[in-house]
């Protein structure tokens, strides 16, 4: 077996230690009738040079944002990632780290998670944050389960302005638990407040909203919070952390639990993953959070140390009481998030958010000035906006692709009533020249 690194002499020593004369003896319990007495019919190995060439040829079949300019957002966003992030992630103590159950040998990993949690709390205005949520969609579902557990209620309201795929995940999580889900309609790109008021009652565990919402719009969140809290329901925010560099924190607006997708900091698009979700809440809900929480303490010499302060029931005692089944450790993605956000700092994230909103509004004005196109909603927006068009969205995106531009999301895929509507996204990665080229191509589509 060429892939076994031990020499013949080493193999003999190993077999002698366990009292076996030959490797075949290790397989004596496998019946002769099912053994394969010939080499596997697979191609032989490659040299390093051949392998690199082969993998590069496979990779070349894919296109990336190095060849295309993308104006597609809808939950996964292109942001510039400083070069140092990837280089530090390649350090073996980070790349190979598992769940830090043993604090005496995991101080670095534990501290990194603690710093991540601290940053999430700063951004969201919450009291506590956990680690190891899979992504934004599952984090939202976990928040709904937390709410049902905390309120002893079994009905959840979710705005239709929340990401439609997040709502699909919510349904997958909650239906087997017997939790009822009801969508709340929207008007002019934001939640229909009358519809929310008519549906809210004392059976509702939580109201789930997005900040900014799926259409990029900013809603009246204080009004929604007052409506939910007046009937004892919790308020769950699904938020974009980049926007929090400019907008008020969810904590200031009345949120009880805040979740979101952390891909925007330190994690490239990577054809769809891996991502990380974040989840933060007010202190009184801390013990209901899934995942794990790292805390700071001092040892018997008075030195600062880090430990797993709380570990969720899903991996330990009384599993039947758990509201979750999280096992995977997302600490590597969380570390990338922490590095990127730490490098930005308070002023940096403000400047980043400001760039996003300014460039998006410039693009929206230019596109809306094109004949046959207009802004679909009058509500305020962050870095995404909806364009209504007389031309087919499919044809528009087809023409854009011919010019190496990835266009907006055809909203009729999720909202049949929004036929001939495109959701565009503009981040700091787009220059004025990129936006102007998009507008020029759109103007040329007849």
Q: Write the pLDDT tens digit of every residue in 99-130.
A: 777 888 889 889 999 999 999 999 999 999 99
pLDDT band at 176 (very low <50, low <70, confident <90, very high): very high
Give the pLDDT band (50/70/90) at residue 169.
very high
pLDDT at 324 over 90: no
> Is residue 38 in some structural domain?
no
| Domain termination site, one of 341, 370, 396 | 341
* Tokens at 391, concatenated: 């031309």
Crossing angle of helices 331-368/107-124, nearest 10°? 30
Q: End of a domain among 307, 341, 375?
A: 341
What integer is the mean pLDDT of 276-283?
96
- 391-431 pLDDT, tens digit per residue, is 999 999 999 999 999 999 999 999 999 999 999 999 999 99
Whether the pLDDT of residue 21 is over 80: the answer is yes
| pLDDT given for residue 81 in this prediction | 96
More confident residue, 5 or 215: 215
* pLDDT value for 239: 98
Residue 40 pLDDT more than 90? no
Q: Are residues 123 and 180 in the same domain?
A: yes
270: region left, alpha or beta (phi > 0 left; psi from -120 to 50 alpha): left
**Is residue 271 domain-shared with residue 370, that is, in the same domain?**
no
Domain containing 235 — which CATH number? Answer: 3.40.640.10
Last residue of a domain, one of 309, 341, 373: 341
Q: Are residues 201 and 317 in the same domain?
A: yes
> For the residues of 268-284, what is the DSSP string, one character each?
--TTT----EEEEE-GG
What pLDDT is attached to residue 2? 63
Indicate whether 383 and 436 sit together in one domain: yes
Q: What is the pLDDT of residue 199?
A: 97
Identify whether 16 is part of a domain.
Answer: no
Q: What is the pLDDT of residue 93?
A: 79
Report the candidate in 354, 370, 441 with the shortest Cα–Cα distance to residue 405. Answer: 441
* 95/182 same-domain check: yes
User: Does residue 337 sit in the same domain as residue 380?
Assistant: no
**Both 288 and 362 in a single domain?**
no
Reported as a pLDDT band with limits 50, 70 and 90, residue 386 is very high
pLDDT at 71: 98
Question: Is the pLDDT confidence value at 319 over 80?
Answer: no
| 306 and 239 in a common domain | yes
Tell me: pLDDT of 1 over 60. no
CA atoms within 13 A on the CB side of 359: 22
Domain count, the chain: 2
Lowest-confidence range among 120-134, 167-181, 255-269, 298-312? 298-312
**Whether residue 179 is found in the same domain as residue 251:** yes
What are the structure tokens assigned to 202, written together? 């004392």
Does 4 reside within a domain? no
Q: What pLDDT score was predicted for residue 318?
A: 63
Q: Is the pLDDT of residue 163 over 90?
A: yes
Higher pLDDT, 128 or 290: 128
Question: The domain that contains 425 carries what CATH number?
Answer: 3.90.1150.10
Do 285 and 336 fall into the same domain? Answer: yes
**Residue ranges making up the domain that contains 304:** 83-341
Same domain, 242 and 357: no
Q: Is 51 helix (H, G, I), strand (E, B) or coil?
A: helix
CA distances (Å), origin 305, targets 66, 95, 169, 309: 43, 22, 37, 11
pTM across the whole model: 0.89
């Amino acid at each position: 077996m060429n892939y076994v690194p031990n020499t013949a002499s080493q193999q003999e020593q190993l077999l002698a230690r366990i009292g076996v004369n030959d490797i075949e003896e290790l397989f004596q319990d496998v019946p002769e009738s099912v053994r394969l007495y010939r080499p596997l019919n697979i191609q032989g190995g490659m040299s390093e040079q051949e392998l690199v060439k082969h993998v590069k040829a496979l990779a070349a079949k894919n296109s990336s944002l190095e060849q295309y300019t993308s104006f597609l957002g809808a939950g996964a966003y292109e942001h510039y990632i400083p070069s140092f992030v990837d280089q530090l992630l390649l350090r073996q103590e980070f790349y190979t780290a598992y769940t830090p159950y043993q604090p005496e040998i995991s101080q670095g990993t534990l501290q990194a998670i603690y710093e991540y949690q601290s940053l999430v709390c700063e951004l969201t205005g919450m009291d506590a944050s956990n680690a190891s949520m899979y992504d934004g969609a599952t984090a939202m579902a976990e928040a709904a389960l937390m709410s049902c557990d905390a309120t002893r209620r079994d009905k959840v309201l979710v705005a239709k302005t929340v990401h439609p795929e997040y709502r699909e995940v919510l349904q997958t999580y909650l239906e087997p638990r017997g939790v009822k889900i009801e969508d709340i309609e929207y008007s002019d790109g934001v939640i229909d407040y009358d519809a929310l008021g008519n549906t809210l009652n004392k059976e509702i565990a939580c109201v789930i909203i997005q900040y900014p919402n799926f259409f990029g719009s900013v809603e009246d969140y204080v009004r929604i919070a007052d409506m939910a809290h007046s009937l004892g329901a919790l308020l769950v925010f699904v938020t974009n952390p980049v926007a929090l560099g400019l907008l008020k924190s969810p904590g200031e607006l009345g949120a009880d639990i805040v979740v979101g997708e952390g891909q925007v900091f330190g994690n490239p698009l990577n054809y769809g993953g891996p991502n990380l979700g974040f989840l933060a809440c007010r202190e009184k809900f801390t013990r209901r959070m899934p995942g794990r929480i790292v805390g700071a303490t001092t040892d018997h010499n008075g030195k600062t140390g880090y430990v797993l302060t709380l570990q969720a029931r899903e991996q330990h005692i009384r599993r039947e009481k758990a509201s979750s089944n999280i096992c995977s450790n997302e600490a590597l993605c969380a570390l990338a998030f922490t590095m990127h956000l730490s490098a930005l700092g308070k002023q940096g994230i403000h400047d980043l958010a400001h760039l996003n909103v300014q460039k998006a509004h410039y693009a929206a004005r230019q596109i809306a000035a094109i004949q046959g196109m207009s802004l679909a909603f009058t509500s305020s927006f962050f870095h995404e906006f909806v364009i209504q068009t007389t031309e087919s969205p499919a044809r528009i995106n087809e023409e854009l692709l011919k010019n190496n531009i990835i266009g907006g999301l055809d909203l009729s895929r999720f909202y049949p009533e929004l036929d001939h509507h495109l959701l565009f996204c503009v981040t700091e990665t787009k220059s004025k020249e990129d936006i102007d080229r998009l507008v020029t191509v759109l103007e040329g589509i007849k």
